[in-house]
Amino acid sequence: MDFVAIDWETASAFRGSPCAVGVVTVRSGVVVEAWGSLMRPPGAHVHFDEANTAVHGLREEDVASASSFEEVWPEVARRLVGLPVVAHNARFDIGVIQSATWTAGLRSPQMTFGCTLVLSRQHYDLPSYTLDAVVEAAGAVLDNHHEAVADAMAAAQVLLRVGEDLGMDSVQDVFAAYEIELGRSGGPDPRPCRVERQRGTASRAPEPEGATLW
């Protein structure tokens, strides 16, 4: 079970305004590194919306002396090389990478990625699939929700617990057990992480439109 779990926090509704990142590296089912950083968003996207601050508690003054996204990105990118990337609501987190690198004039990497939100909807029967609800169902721990490293760690623990439940020890096998196709970012065949064919508990109603998924 080798993968990288990632979580971004953004300054505003624009996905290209990252202000914090958490990256957790898992090798053979064991967390070997948990790393994170605050950052100044790229370009002119330094304004912090009150709605975002209400979620993660960060303001412009908190990142004023932090490194820029352009300076932090190489540290993030090198941790992603050669491993599938996992996030809770990966559409958002992969979107942050794509938007922020484009804004900064950097190249967005090609990634294979899985979404623990998609996975948890198949594995658990819950009234809500927000990260804190899924972590509780998995019997894992989420300290300081909406702090980037804590959320990345929580997503990693969810995937590991689902793998334990299924008796599977690879990211590909865990997602394939529910016929979930891993996503692909960039390259000639980009695609989301999605259920190929509804099965198991997948007949449950989806989250209502506009629900907070992170």
The predicted-structure confidence for 136-158, as pLDDT tens digits, reads as follows 999 998 988 999 999 999 999 99
Gap between the Cα atoms of 146 and 150, Å rounded: 7
Give phi and psi for 148, each to the nearest 5. Answer: -60, -45
Residues 23-69 pLDDT 10s: 999 999 999 999 999 999 998 888 999 999 999 999 999 999 999 99
Task: Please state the pTM of the whole predicted model.
Answer: 0.89
CA 130-134-140 angle, 5° bins:
135
Whether the pLDDT of residue 212 is over 50: the answer is no
Q: How many CB atoms lie within 10 A of CB 29?
A: 14
- List pLDDT tens digits, range 59-73: 999 999 999 999 999
Q: What percent of the chain has pLDDT over 70?
A: 92
> What domains are there in the chain, each with its CATH number?
3-195 (3.30.420.10)
Minimum mean pLDDT range among 59-73, 118-132, 187-201: 187-201
User: Could you give the CA distance from residue 204 to residue 214 in angstroms, rounded to a whole number?
Assistant: 19
The helix/strand/coil state of 20 is strand
DSSP 71: H
